[in-house]
A and B are shown apart, each in its own frame.
Chain A
Amino acid sequence: MELIVMKDHEESEKAQKIIEEALWYGVLDEVLHITVLKDKSELDKTSKDLGIQKVPALRAKGRWYQGLDEIQSFLNSFKVYRRIKESSANRCAVVIKHLTKTFFEIYHGWKSAQAVVEAYQKMLQLYRNFLEENNDVLSEDLKAEIEAEIAEAEEALSAAKTTAEEYHETLRDLERGIKIVFGCDWGVM
């Protein structure tokens, strides 16, 4: 079995990955020879010599499979390969369902904590403005009550800020987890 790939070529890299995966699963049991072409001149020469039009190209079962789609179709023609892929995807689906549920809860928690922070900030703004404008005319009792409200809001604001930071950190960890599990960046943050 022979695989012709091009250096720094996305489709070539993908093809190599899925073929090596199929070998690892035992779907294919032949020895794989890989030829890496460095540039276009090498590609032109190889195309002429081997009679292929594009890379990646896989020689298997006596014929060439050219391009990622043809190689993928060749692998999909093996029932055992399809079963393995389905089983693997189904396991990932179970994981993603739990991860998205957790992600939703943490993200919602983070946003809710931010909402509390902003709401207290607005409330504080109202009280402070009022106190500033009416400081001289308010009775001592009412002034003390407004000041107590401000102190309480400041304390709650500080706690909410800490909560928001904690949620955000958890969210970052979770996103890193999603990236590790699925090997790709979901770019959701």
Chain B
Amino acid sequence: MCDEIADVCAMALRVLADNFYWDYRNWKHAQGEKEAHEKELEILRKFLEKYGNALSGEERKKIEHRIEYAKDRIEEAEKAIKDYFNALVEDKKELERLLGEELSLKGVSGKG
């Protein structure tokens, strides 16, 4: 690689690495959101299992509402995970095109 091309590549790399960083971060962030809601759901379900029979109708409904809310958020997070993953695949392709070699970045081979 001659000096000029290397410098252009370096400039492009800074932009692409930044994109990659944000898409990777958002992808993992969405995975974290999904997991956090799953844990929340688990606690609420276990609570309902243990105290459900003794709860008043009103409180039971509130807990059930929270469960439904968590389920909806999990669905949304799953969609976001797919979207960010697709963006990440594009970033990876661009980086490979720029660097002329295959990237073997662990963790970017599945849909999480």
> CB within 8 Å of B: which residues of A?
82, 85-86, 88-90, 92-94, 96-97, 99-100, 103-104, 107-108, 110-112, 114-116, 118-120, 122-123, 125-127, 129-130, 134, 137-139, 141-143, 145-146, 149, 178, 182, 184, 186, 188
> CB within 8 Å of A: which residues of B?
1-3, 6-7, 9-11, 13-14, 17-18, 20-22, 24-29, 31-33, 35-37, 39-40, 42-44, 46-47, 50-51, 54-56, 59, 62-63, 66, 95, 99, 103, 105, 107-108
Which of A96, A104, A188 is within 8 Å of B37, CB to CB?
A: A104
Residues on A with beta carbons closer than 8 Å to the beta carbon of B9: 130, 134
Whole-angstrom distance between the Cβ of B80 and the nearest chain A Cβ: 13
Whole-angstrom distance between the Cβ of B76 and the nearest chain A Cβ: 14
A to B CB contacts below 8 Å, 15 in the list: A90-B55, A97-B62, A103-B39, A104-B37, A107-B32, A111-B31, A115-B24, A115-B25, A119-B21, A130-B10, A134-B9, A145-B10, A146-B10, A146-B14, A188-B43
| Complex Cα–Cα for A111 and B39 (A) | 12
Does more than half of chain A's interface fall in helix, strand or loop, or is it mixed? Answer: helix
Q: Do A134 and B10 touch across chains, with their CB atoms under 8 A apart?
A: yes
Residues on B with beta carbons closer than 8 Å to the beta carbon of A145: 10, 14
Q: Do B54 and A104 touch across chains, with their CB atoms under 8 A apart?
A: no
Whole-angstrom distance between the Cβ of B82 and the nearest chain A Cβ: 16
